[in-house]
A and B are shown apart, each in its own frame.
Chain A
């Protein structure tokens, strides 16, 4: 498993979702690493990590691999920040290993069954399927990414190259397919009750410009997780890290320190 690490302080684990890899945090890491030991992972099958097809890429298994990874690094307690599927992994991690976390931050996260139910037709899942289709054609791909970013002028060729990089090899495409195939919302449905009993502090950040995941998910999580905090950012798309990196960093740091930055 590949990862990127920078800074000193309390550890912060940044977990990406499907269709991206650690690059998605590149604008946020420098803002956090001033005060924190920031670790951004590439999940197995993504980015620079191995593209094995003989292990499960289900999110609970990803969550479990993250646990092993953290243990191996001997991080002790840390802040969990997950985006998209990474948020789902955070929920599982929080339920299974709450003692390891200072807190949990979910950004444009998946949850419950608001996401594709049939792994077999994972390709019907919004974005995943379209991504795959798009990977066959750069023009379409660009459109998909552009839809997921609020500030359209930030969609540059360089950014597109970063998104596309794993899809350039047959191996990468195969691993992506496999990841999609492994998705199972049962993993999150199982812990619905556990979430309501969650004791750790939770921050939910919702980009209101996310066209792929609806607001309902964040609202329900906020409602059901006791003491959770919901921050809505109107100028954030699905890939909100590209839209509002400073804001995310500000909210996250404020949350880590127990302060509540002005919500917007």
Chain B
């Protein structure tokens, strides 16, 4: 067992060994790492391209990687180390003082090559680095000098303040790092210097090369582009180079000439001279302006002026010569040509017919004159050559000078002067002067043209132009000229300006579109183009323009093209006449003509002698004469003889003395028909108040005349009616008395009394007379429809007698009535009138006799019948057929017969109302009437009236022998004494008390006195002072409800209508039968 101490020692030895090993290990590891770090730093440094970068990155890396707080690169200056670059790991501030103060001792040490500062040394030296945040006092430091030619730095300074004294250990590595940096800095610097030198050199070389190149280029360019022929020739006379110009003229390619002897290009005749010159050239090295002839490949000869010079090298040895040939061939030729030209000119000068002078401009002396001039001026050549131009020119020198200046100002190369000939005549001449040099003497070569005639022609032309201009300007029509191409106005006259309102300054150079609305301008342009295309005149009868003032004018325009020599339109000339006013007149004339033509009055215009010049449509329509037939005739053609000769005379007197005649003509149409005209005839006078025409305005008044006639007839009928009515009224009073007394007498006569027959006959005659008055009354009154059931056959039977009387004896009058009763709802009186009217017409149609027939029958209308006849309603009808065998009617007449005032009867024989009334009545009865007629075959009317089923009322009552009487008191008012007495007798005989009054007023008075006892008023309606009605009204005002019965000579319904009587009031008609009177009295009293 080893001794513990041994063991311990052993362990200690081992531990020591381990420690040493560990230390060695650590050192090795550290070295390995240092190597790695050096590698990294070296790489970083090597990447840097500037010295500053080398120092910055090197110092930073070493500081970071070896944890050295202060690393700097400085330059030593005296006792200071000026910091060039530094890295301080412990602060982020910039150093305030970039210098480290080093004591002299250290500087000495450094100078001796020592560079590691021990801690003590550091402390003793009191090294301190100033920082803002406080001074950095290193515990140890190491200064490593380095030499670099290219930085001012020469020392690295590393300082540490760690407790461990590391720097000795790191010294080796720091040395290496600093070496690396120094070396890199040197490298960079060298490299940079080298680079800079290189660049300089490059730039110099480049410059020189460029200059050389430029010089070379310039020479080459000059040589190549020189228009003269250039050659480079070797000392032994061979061609080295030849330029483009020479090649061109010689016709060789460059390679054909290079290397060839110079003789190749010279013409044989120049060769001896060439040899001669070559010798001279050899001697002097120069040749100047030697004339030679060169020969092209194709044999062309050119004359050249040769100059030559040599190019020598530095040693004065000839390298080559440069020959330059100036081509003077053209010049030579020109000289030759000039000579020839001069000769030609001289010959021309001598022979020409043109007058030519050579003048000395300085003196005006005539230096030479050709034979023509001698002829023209009348002087011999010798004489002329002794004269000056002033001797010929009439103008003074001043005037000539002025003329020359004017010519110059106008850029005119000739002058116009008056020249005087030898015989004294003056001629206007045009002088063309050209400066020429003759034998070195400046002269004026003048050609003189006699323009006297031309001048005159020009003046004439000018006059002509002025003349035309005057016309154009002063014609009253608008005239314009347009350019055929552009249609722009090139000429415009005064009238045109006035018409359009535009001045010519405004118009010229413009076209239609610049002035007129588009549609108008388009139209104009189209017309213009048409004219230019057709190349002929176009007449535009009417076109409208709008003037500047906006007024529309109507123009009649002619446009014509002006063609140039080739027939191409050059201008368009337009001449417009303003026809606006004329158009207006035409328009008004047109209106007037139309008015006249369409006038509803007939218009005739005659000349002063009365020959018809115009008739209007109405005239031809009325008269039947056509326009052609009427014109040229005298209005006498219408004369019918109905107008008196005196009337015509008066007419002529009036109108021929300038008055207006108005009157009526009864004229005859072409077809012989007469017609009435109302005419106004007036004379027409011209400006001199002489009657040139007559105008007649005539109205056809035939219709009016006819209506007037009808009116007259109607009025006449009315008058007759009134007359007949009046007569009938008076007659009735008489008949009433006869009837009354007759009846009284009859009542007082025994039945077997032989006087009774006489009384009865008398009463029957009175009865007939009474019927006659009734018919008269019927004729004279207007009907009021009073329809009631009646048998149509009864009516016909009743009027039959009357009809026969109307028809007359010549006509066979027949009635064929149906067996059954034909009851209709009818107004007896109206139906009577229908039959009467138709009978009247029939009679008129059968002037020489015939058959008149009335037939009745019952007919039934079914739907089919109605649809065929186009009228009525289905059902039963009474048909009355009334026919005659008269002259019949045309269809045209038939169509109008029911119209009022239509008549075919002679004037005064018909009212034209008859059938109209018939038609109206039938319509009132809800029936209808048809007519069938043909000329010569008579006429048939068929009247249909609807049947009814009612019974016909009893119209005829049995006569009562003794009507009822009474005891009441009656006030009787009757103005006719006979009737009053007869009536009182009848009433008193039946028991009544009668008080009488002689008229209406009397009745009122008497009633006032006796009103308590009077039961009935019996008044005649028509009485003097007061009518029965007026008297009744007055009494009724006092005693309402007073009973009344009227007596009237008129029909009761007529009375009722006229006096507006109430329905309950009864009327008894005159002549009245006593029984009827008594019956009505009783009726009224009992009502």
Residues of A within 8 A of B (CB): 51-54, 120, 123, 132-133, 136-137, 170-171, 173-175, 177-178, 181
Give the CA-CA distance A217 to B60 in the complex, in Å.
Answer: 35
Assess whether A174 is in contact with B92, with CB atoms less than 8 Å apart.
yes
Nearest to B41 among chain A residues (CB) is A136
Judge if B133 is at the interface, Cβ distance under 8 Å.
yes
Give the CA-CA distance A206 to B1058 in the complex, in Å.
Answer: 144
Assess whether B133 is in contact with A177, with CB atoms less than 8 Å apart.
no
Given contacts A136-B61, A137-B40, A173-B60, contact A53 B67 (CB under 8 A): no
Q: Which residues of B contact A120 (CB under 8 A)?
A: 67
Assess whether A136 is in contact with B92, with CB atoms less than 8 Å apart.
no
Assess whether B40 is in contact with A133, with CB atoms less than 8 Å apart.
yes
Residue-wise interface mask of B (35-66) relative to A, using a CB-CB cutoff of 8 A (1 in contact, 0 not): 00000100110000000000010001100110
Give the CA-CA distance A51 to B43 in the complex, in Å.
Answer: 27
- Interchain residue pairs with CB less than 8 A apart (17): A51-B92, A52-B92, A54-B91, A120-B67, A123-B67, A132-B64, A132-B65, A133-B40, A133-B65, A136-B43, A137-B40, A170-B60, A173-B60, A174-B89, A174-B92, A177-B64, A178-B89
Nearest-Cβ distance from residue B286 to partner chain A, whole angstroms: 77
Nearest-Cβ distance from residue B478 to partner chain A, whole angstroms: 92
Q: Which residues of A contact B64 (CB under 8 A)?
A: 132, 173, 177
Those 10 A-B pairs whose CB atoms lie nearest each other, nearest first = A53-B92, A136-B40, A177-B64, A53-B91, A53-B90, A136-B44, A171-B92, A51-B92, A170-B60, A177-B89
Nearest to A50 among chain B residues (CB) is B92
Q: Which residues of A contact B40 (CB under 8 A)?
A: 133, 136-137
* Other contacts beyond A54-B91, A133-B40, A177-B64: 7, CB < 8 A: A52-B92, A53-B91, A54-B133, A132-B65, A136-B40, A137-B43, A177-B89
Q: Which residues of B contact A54 (CB under 8 A)?
A: 91, 133
Give the CA-CA distance A226 to B133 in the complex, in Å.
Answer: 47
Nearest-Cβ distance from residue B342 to partner chain A, whole angstroms: 96
Q: Which residues of A contact B90 (CB under 8 A)?
A: 53, 178
Give the CA-CA distance A217 to B444 in the complex, in Å.
Answer: 128
Q: Which residues of A contact B65 (CB under 8 A)?
A: 123, 132-133
Give the CA-CA distance A177 to B87 in the complex, in Å.
Answer: 13
Q: Which residues of A contact B133 (CB under 8 A)?
A: 54
Q: Which residues of A contact B89 (CB under 8 A)?
A: 174, 177-178
Q: Which residues of B contact A173 (CB under 8 A)?
A: 60, 64
Nearest-Cβ distance from residue B471 to partner chain A, whole angstroms: 101
Interface centre among B43, B67, B92, B133 (most CB of A within 10 A): B92
Q: Which residues of A contact B61 (CB under 8 A)?
A: 136
Chain A: interface secondary structure?
helix
Nearest-Cβ distance from residue B134 to partner chain A, whole angstroms: 10
Give the CA-CA distance A177 to B90 in the complex, in Å.
Answer: 9
Nearest-Cβ distance from residue B39 to partner chain A, whole angstroms: 10
Nearest-Cβ distance from residue A18 to partner chain B, whole angstroms: 15
Q: Which residues of A contact B92 (CB under 8 A)?
A: 51-53, 171, 174-175
Nearest-Cβ distance from residue A71 to partner chain B, whole angstroms: 27
Give the CA-CA distance A136 to B43 in the complex, in Å.
Answer: 9
Q: Which residues of B contact A132 (CB under 8 A)?
A: 64-65
Give the CA-CA distance A52 to B65 in the complex, in Å.
Answer: 20
Nearest-Cβ distance from residue B89 to partner chain A, whole angstroms: 6
Nearest-Cβ distance from residue B337 to partner chain A, whole angstroms: 88
Interface centre among B43, B56, B89 (most CB of A within 10 A): B89
Q: Which residues of B contact A170 (CB under 8 A)?
A: 56, 60
Give the CA-CA distance A52 to B91 in the complex, in Å.
Answer: 8
Nearest-Cβ distance from residue A135 to partner chain B, whole angstroms: 9
Nearest-Cβ distance from residue A105 to partner chain B, whole angstroms: 33
Nearest-Cβ distance from residue A167 to partner chain B, whole angstroms: 11
Give the CA-CA distance A123 to B67 in the complex, in Å.
Answer: 9
Give the CA-CA distance A258 to B1072 in the complex, in Å.
Answer: 147
Q: Which residues of B contact A181 (CB under 8 A)?
A: 67
Nearest to B40 among chain A residues (CB) is A136
Nearest-Cβ distance from residue B141 to partner chain A, whole angstroms: 19
Give the CA-CA distance A137 to B43 in the complex, in Å.
Answer: 9
Residues of B729-780 contacting chain A, CB below 8 A: none
Nearest-Cβ distance from residue B42 to partner chain A, whole angstroms: 11
Nearest-Cβ distance from residue B569 to partner chain A, whole angstroms: 85
Give the CA-CA distance A189 to B584 in the complex, in Å.
Answer: 131
Give the CA-CA distance A123 to B89 in the complex, in Å.
Answer: 14
Q: Which residues of B contact A174 (CB under 8 A)?
A: 89, 92
Give the CA-CA distance A175 to B61 in the complex, in Å.
Answer: 14
Q: Which residues of A contact B60 (CB under 8 A)?
A: 170, 173
Nearest-Cβ distance from residue B139 to partner chain A, whole angstroms: 15
Give the CA-CA distance A120 to B64 in the complex, in Å.
Answer: 12
Q: Which residues of B contact A123 (CB under 8 A)?
A: 65, 67
Nearest-Cβ distance from residue A182 to partner chain B, whole angstroms: 12
Give the CA-CA distance A71 to B91 in the complex, in Å.
Answer: 29
Q: Which residues of B contact A136 (CB under 8 A)?
A: 40, 43-44, 61
Nearest-Cβ distance from residue A179 to partner chain B, whole angstroms: 12
Q: Which residues of A contact B43 (CB under 8 A)?
A: 136-137
Nearest-Cβ distance from residue B877 to partner chain A, whole angstroms: 114
Nearest-Cβ distance from residue A138 to partner chain B, whole angstroms: 12
Nearest-Cβ distance from residue B495 to partner chain A, whole angstroms: 95
Nearest-Cβ distance from residue B446 to partner chain A, whole angstroms: 99
Give the CA-CA distance A53 to B56 in the complex, in Å.
Answer: 19
Q: Which residues of A contact B44 (CB under 8 A)?
A: 136
Give the CA-CA distance A174 to B92 in the complex, in Å.
Answer: 8
Give the CA-CA distance A174 to B94 in the complex, in Å.
Answer: 13
Q: Which residues of B contact A53 (CB under 8 A)?
A: 90-92
Q: Which residues of B contact A133 (CB under 8 A)?
A: 40, 65
Interface centre among A51, A120, A136 (most CB of B within 10 A): A136
Nearest to A175 among chain B residues (CB) is B92
Give the CA-CA distance A173 to B57 in the complex, in Å.
Answer: 12
Q: Which residues of B contact A51 (CB under 8 A)?
A: 92
Nearest to B133 among chain A residues (CB) is A54
Give the CA-CA distance A137 to B44 in the complex, in Å.
Answer: 9
Give the CA-CA distance A123 to B40 in the complex, in Å.
Answer: 15
Nearest to B44 among chain A residues (CB) is A136
Give the CA-CA distance A178 to B40 in the complex, in Å.
Answer: 21
Give the CA-CA distance A158 to B64 in the complex, in Å.
Answer: 27
Q: Which residues of B contact A178 (CB under 8 A)?
A: 89-90
Nearest to B56 among chain A residues (CB) is A170
Nearest-Cβ distance from residue B262 to partner chain A, whole angstroms: 76
Nearest to B64 among chain A residues (CB) is A177
Residues of B582-605 contacting chain A, CB below 8 A: none
Nearest-Cβ distance from residue A171 to partner chain B, whole angstroms: 6
Residue-wise interface mask of B (124-140) relative to A, using a CB-CB cutoff of 8 A (1 in contact, 0 not): 00000000010000000
Give the CA-CA distance A132 to B64 in the complex, in Å.
Answer: 9
Q: Which residues of A contact B56 (CB under 8 A)?
A: 170
Nearest-Cβ distance from residue B891 to partner chain A, whole angstroms: 116
Nearest to A177 among chain B residues (CB) is B64
Nearest-Cβ distance from residue B173 to partner chain A, whole angstroms: 15
Residue-wise interface mask of B (65-76) relative to A, using a CB-CB cutoff of 8 A (1 in contact, 0 not): 101000000000
Give the CA-CA distance A39 to B765 in the complex, in Å.
Answer: 157
Nearest to A140 among chain B residues (CB) is B40
Give the CA-CA distance A221 to B166 in the complex, in Å.
Answer: 39
Give the CA-CA distance A174 to B44 in the complex, in Å.
Answer: 17
Give the CA-CA distance A173 to B92 in the complex, in Å.
Answer: 11
Nearest to B63 among chain A residues (CB) is A177
Nearest-Cβ distance from residue B434 to partner chain A, whole angstroms: 92
Nearest-Cβ distance from residue A118 to partner chain B, whole angstroms: 11
Nearest-Cβ distance from residue B541 to partner chain A, whole angstroms: 95
Nearest-Cβ distance from residue B136 to partner chain A, whole angstroms: 13
Nearest-Cβ distance from residue A32 to partner chain B, whole angstroms: 34
Nearest-Cβ distance from residue A126 to partner chain B, whole angstroms: 15
Give the CA-CA distance A123 to B30 in the complex, in Å.
Answer: 13
Give the CA-CA distance A53 to B40 in the complex, in Å.
Answer: 26
Nearest to A136 among chain B residues (CB) is B40
Nearest-Cβ distance from residue B90 to partner chain A, whole angstroms: 6
Residue-wise interface mask of B (13-45) relative to A, using a CB-CB cutoff of 8 A (1 in contact, 0 not): 000000000000000000000000000100110
Interface centre among B56, B91, B133 (most CB of A within 10 A): B91
Nearest to B60 among chain A residues (CB) is A170
